[in-house]
Amino acid sequence: MAHADLLPGQWQRQVALMEWQPQIVLMAALKVGLIEALLEAPLSPEEAAQKLALDGRATRRVISVLVDAGYLERQGDGVMVAPEARALMDPSDAAFVGDRLLHLHNLFVSWVQLPQVLRGGGPARSERTPESLRAFIGSMRVGARERARPLADRLAELFPGTRTVLDIGGGPGTQALAFQEGGWQATVLDFPEVVDLMADDLAQAGIATIKSDATQGIPARGFDLVYCGNLFHSMSREECAAVVDGAADALRDGGALAIFDFLQGTGLPSSLFAVNMLVATSGGDVYGEGDYRRWCEAAGLRDFAAHEVPGQVQRLLTAVKP
Ligand SMILES: C[S@@+](CC[C@H](N)C(=O)[O-])C[C@H]1O[C@@H](n2cnc3c(N)ncnc32)[C@H](O)[C@@H]1O
């Protein structure tokens, strides 16, 4: 068997063509502010290096790649962001993907430490800064954009009596916004520093907020629905059980818990995500359907069910408070 055959098909080409390299170059350019500096007007590589206090030789080489990859275009003696890439690179545009790429860059830093993690256990060493938190939350927003409305519609079909929803770990507010647009009153619970980042956007949409650590109990009651999207994978088993307990307490009788997350044994995205949690968290993992069922039943919830969601690798798990 040729070495390339050991790789899943879609990756053979990427590895062969080193397709990851232009992406790393783009991430680095975003991280040092080079892309933002080239959004409005062209600069020569020398001007850009001087403006951002960068090494001139490195800046010239990186700019050549960004031009050849199509992210930048030449204008006279200078370069600037190409019109086709502009919306994706402009932080003020709704299509901005810069935070996503910056978060991926932070993940790469953790992933390349996998050999050390294999020897000594996880997580990898990483730096948590206000910038990395902003990139993480911005990245979650990009991830949630397309699925937020279909998920809200699906939950409205499953639980038509819903009027109030608590979104635990609702961070970027994208899902809560879709709930709110569907006519529900949404409340987002997240860590204080995350709620602070999103406070203006959430208040503008009429979304209530709770600053809290969900593993310490939920300080609110009487919700028709409690939703936890991509939350449990970052926590240990004990923390998951505690959050399901807290969620059950926060529901009215007859209310429902809905969990959207990766499920163990559902293929490559799920096993890769477990490695992601290994390098990025101290206790996170991808859990099995049986784990979620057990936590729900221990919290007194009934009618546990797992649903596939078209177009998503994660599953939707639901249970009802009798
Ligand atoms: C991976 S993001 C998912 C965001 C969003 N729910 C989604 O599906 O796109 C996880 C979110 O849960 C929050 N979170 C993680 N652990 C938490 C805890 N113990 N209490 C409150 N929020 C938590 C994080 O701050 C982050 O906003």
pLDDT value for 11: 56
Ligand 1 and 283: CB distance under 6 A: no
> What residue has token string 């221990």?
298
Tens of pLDDT, residue by residue over 171-181, are 999 999 999 99
pLDDT of residue 127: 87
User: Nearest residue CA, atom 1 of ligand 1?
Assistant: 230
What is the per-residue pLDDT for 4? 44
What's 175-222 look like in SS3?
A: HHHHHHHCCCEEEEEECHHHHHHHHHHHHHCCCEEEECCHHHCCCCCC
Residue nearest to atom 27 of ligand 1 (CA): 171
The alpha carbon of 99 and the centre of ligand 1 are apart by a number of angstroms equal to: 16
Note the pLDDT of residue 13: 59
Domains along the chain? 3-90 (1.10.10.10), 145-320 (3.40.50.150)
Taking only the tens place, the pLDDT of each residue in 184-205 is 999 999 999 999 999 999 999 9
Q: Which pLDDT does position 26 carry in this prediction?
A: 94
From the CA of 231, how far away is ligand 1's center (Å)?
A: 5
Residue 240 Cβ < 6 Å to ligand 1: no
Which residues does residue 78 pair with via DSSP β-bridges, in sequence order? Answer: 75
pLDDT value of residue 2: 43
What's residue 16's pLDDT?
58
Is any ligand 1 atom within 6 A of the Cβ of residue 122?
A: no
Q: What is the mean pLDDT of each run of 10 residues along the chain (322 residues)?
A: 52 62 93 96 97 98 95 96 94 91 93 97 93 91 90 97 98 95 97 94 96 97 98 98 98 98 97 97 98 98 96 96 98
Closest ligand 1 atom number to CA of residue 243: 19
Residue with tokens 């039943």: 297
Measure CA of the first residue to CA of the last residue in the chain; give whole Å. 56
Q: Please give the number of the atom of ligand 1 that sits closest to the Cα of 215.
A: 19
